[in-house]
Amino acid sequence: MRLLTFLRGELFERGIHPPQYKLTAGAPILRLPYAPRLTVPLSQHIGRPAHPVVKVGQEVVRGQPVARADDWLSVPHHAPAAGVVEAIGLRPSSRGPWTESIVIRPHAGATQEDGWGVPRDVDAMSPQDILQAVWDSGMVGLGGAAFPTHAKLTVPENANVHTLVVNGCECEPYLTCDHRVMLEEAPTLIRGVRLAMRATGSRRAIIGVEDNKPDAVTSIQAAIDTAQATDIFVEPVPTKYPQGSEKMLIMALFGVEIPSGALPVSLGMVMNNVGTLAAVGRLLPAGQGLTERVITIAGPGVRRPGNYRVPLGTPMSFVLAWAGAPIDRTSARQLVLGGPMMGQAVAALDAPITKGVSGVLLFRREDMYDHGGRKTYPCIKCGECIESCPMGLNPSTLGMLAAKREYEEMGEQYHLGDCFECGCCTYVCPSNIPLVQQFRVAKQVLREAAAAAPATPPAVRA
C-alpha cells in the first residue's frame, strides 16, 4: 500500500506541522477516583437529549441505565457509579448553556464494580444484534465528535461497505489517550474492530496510525498476529495535522478523495476512532454501558500530566485538582477541552467530563501570546491559509465575506459546508485573523436561518 498524505493538486501539501507536545505518550493509563458528585448531562452526543428513567432519591448501581434514548440519533446514559440520584435539573455544561442533567452521589466505600451488565456471546450475535448492543451501551465517537456509534455503523440499504477504516492518528498536539489505548488495549481494540466489521459487512479493516507512534503500530500488529486476523491491517501514515480527519485519512491511505458533500460510505467505507472501537470490544462482551473513558490531562499548567480513566460526570475542578493543576485567577488563563487546535475553551469548572471529551488542557497566563489578547491586522493576501487548508478552500475570501456578513455567499459559492473547522488557517495567518471562529459563526447563522425557513410545500400535480 502506498504511503500517502493529503495533497493540494501536484504543487503543495496541505495541512500544517504544529509542535507535538506529546509529553504524556509514555504515561500509562491511571484510574481517577470518584468525585463526591457526578453530573450526567442528558445531552452528551449529537442528536436529541436522552430522557431520565430514574427519580430523585433512587438508589442506582454502576452501569444502570439512568436515561433512555429519545430517537434513533440519541443514546442512553448509564450511572457512572453506584450511589443515590441527588438531583435532576439544569447544571453547567462545557458548551456554555446549562443543560438538563442527573446528579449522582456515589456511595462512599463502595467497590464500584459494574452491577448491571450481563455477559454476551458476541460470536453468536447477528449484525443487527451488534448494532442494537452498541446502541444500548450508549456508545458515541470518543474522538471528540460524539456522533452515536450505532448510527455510524448502520449502512444505508443502497450502500455496499467493503472497508472499515480505523483512525489511530491522534494528530492534535498534547493528546495521547488514543496512543495509550493502542499500546495497552490492542487485543480489545482488535475485538472491537471485528465486531464493527461484522456490523457493517466490511471485508477488511485498515487501522491508520501516524508514523510518530511506531510502538503503537508494533502493538497493534502483535495483536493482529495473535488473533490471526488476516483481514485486518495496520498502516503508518505521515505525521501531519489534520491527518486524523475522516477525509484526510482516507486520502492518505487510499489516494481517493471523498466528493464534496459526500460521506465515506459513498466510497464503500466506514470510519471509527480507535478509542471507540476499543470501548466496543470491552463493553459488548460484558453487556455493559459506557460509564468512563480515557482522557489526557496536560498543558503547561498541569503538574502531574498523564492519561487517566475518568468516570463520566466528574467535574473539571476535581480532575484538575487530582492532576496537580489548581485553578486560581493569578495563574490560570485558559482551560481547553480536547486539543488546542479544535478544542473548546471552558469557563465553568463545575462542567463535567462527558463522552466526547478526549483531553483537558490547562494553559497559564505566561503561555498565552499576551495578556490583552492577540491584535488582529488586515489580510495581506499572502495565501498561507489557502496552501494549508486541507479541503482546498479559500479561507481568505471566506474571512472577508464573513466580516461583511455575506454568509449565504460563503455557503453557496465558496463551499463553507466543506470546512470541518480544523484551525489550520487561523494557525498560519500572520495577521492573526480568527478565521475558524468566523466560520463557526457563519455556519451557526446559516443553520438557524435554515431551521427558521418555512418548509417548501410539495408540488401539486395537475
The pLDDT value given to residue 331: 59
Tell me: do 98 and 135 sit in the same domain: no
3-state secondary structure of 69: coil
Q: How confident is the model at residue 2 (pLDDT cuts 50, 70, 90)?
A: very low
Residue 8: pLDDT over 80: no
How many CB atoms within 10 Å of residue 350?
Answer: 14
Q: Over pLDDT 70: what percentage of the chain?
A: 92
The pLDDT value given to residue 115: 78
* Structural domain count, the chain: 3
Q: Tell whether 173 is covered by a domain.
A: yes
The pLDDT value given to residue 460: 43
How far does CA 442 lie from the centroid of its chain? 22
Q: What dihedral angle (degrees, nearest 10) is formed by the CA atoms of 288, 291, 294, 300?
A: 180
The pLDDT value given to residue 1: 43
Residue 238 in contact with residue 3, Cβ under 8 Å?
A: yes
Where a domain ends, among 253, 286, 319? 286
CATH of the domain at 93: 3.10.20.600
Residue 281: pLDDT over 80: yes
Q: Tell whether 376 is covered by a domain.
A: no
Distance (Å, rounded) from C-alpha 296 to C-alpha 75?
Answer: 24
- Averaged over 47-60, what is the pLDDT? 94
Tell me: do 278 and 401 sit in the same domain: no
Tell me: do 57 and 84 sit in the same domain: yes
**Structural domain harbouring 109:** 32-117+289-367
Where a domain ends, among 314, 333, 367? 367
What is the pTM assigned to this prediction?
0.92
Tell me: do 64 and 150 sit in the same domain: no
Tell me: do 243 and 174 sit in the same domain: yes
Q: Tell whether 135 is covered by a domain.
A: yes
Tell me: do 200 and 271 sit in the same domain: yes
DSSP 36-66: S-EEEES--SSSSPPEE---TT-EE-TT-EE
Only one residue has cell 491586522, namely 377
How many CB atoms within 10 Å of residue 30?
Answer: 15
Q: Tens digits of per-residue pLDDT, 291-334? A: 999 999 999 989 999 999 999 999 999 999 988 876 665 555 78
Q: Tell whether 432 is covered by a domain.
A: yes
Q: Tally the residues of the chain.
A: 462
Tell me: do 191 and 340 sit in the same domain: no
Amino acid at 121: D
Where a domain ends, among 367, 401, 428? 367
Distance (Å, rounded) from C-alpha 407 to C-alpha 247?
Answer: 24
Q: Tell whether 457 is covered by a domain.
A: no
Tell me: do 63 and 16 sit in the same domain: no
Residue 12: pLDDT over 70: no
Beta bridge partners of 270: 164
The pLDDT value given to residue 316: 92
Q: How confident is the model at residue 4 (pLDDT cuts 50, 70, 90)?
A: low
How far does CA 278 lie from the centroid of its chain? 14
The pLDDT value given to residue 327: 67
Kindly list the strands in the beta sheet with 65-68, ordered across the sheet, starting from the edge strand earlier in the chain: 51-52, 65-68, 77-78
Q: Tell whether 374 is covered by a domain.
A: no
Tell me: do 321 and 391 sit in the same domain: no
The pLDDT value given to residue 5: 61
Residue 238: pLDDT over 90: yes
- Averaged over 391-404, what is the pLDDT? 94
- The helix-helix angle for 177-184 and 214-227 (nearest 10°) equals 40
Q: How confident is the model at residue 371 (pLDDT cuts 50, 70, 90)?
A: very low
Q: Tell whether 460 is covered by a domain.
A: no
Listed in sequence order, the residues at least 6 apart from 26 whose beta carbon sits closer than 8 Å to its beta carbon are none
CATH of the domain at 133: 3.40.50.11540
Q: Tens digits of per-residue pLDDT, 74-89? A: 999 999 999 999 999 9
Distance (Å, rounded) from C-alpha 400 to C-alpha 406?
Answer: 9
Residue 437: pLDDT over 60: yes
The pLDDT value given to residue 45: 85
- The helix-helix angle for 395-403 and 435-452 (nearest 10°) equals 60
Q: How confident is the model at residue 196 (pLDDT cuts 50, 70, 90)?
A: very high
- Averaged over 169-183, what is the pLDDT? 97
Distance (Å, rounded) from C-alpha 141 to C-alpha 246?
Answer: 13
Residue 291 in contact with residue 145, Cβ under 8 Å?
A: no
The pLDDT value given to residue 455: 56
Question: 104-142 burial by CB neighbour count: b if 16+ within 10 A, else e?
Answer: bbbbeeeebebebbeebebeebebeebbebbbbbbbbbb
Listed in sequence order, the residues at least 6 apart from 311 whose beta carbon sits closer than 8 Å to its beta carbon are 32, 34, 35, 38, 80, 81, 291, 292, 353
Q: Tell whether 1 is covered by a domain.
A: no
DSSP 381-449: ---HHHHH-TT---HHHHHHHHHTT-HHHHHHHS-GGG-----HHHHH-TT---HHHHHHHHHHHHHHH
Tell me: do 275 and 309 sit in the same domain: no
Tell me: do 249 and 343 sit in the same domain: no
Tell me: do 100 and 155 sit in the same domain: no
Residue 112: pLDDT over 60: yes
Residue 54 in contact with residue 77, Cβ under 8 Å?
A: no
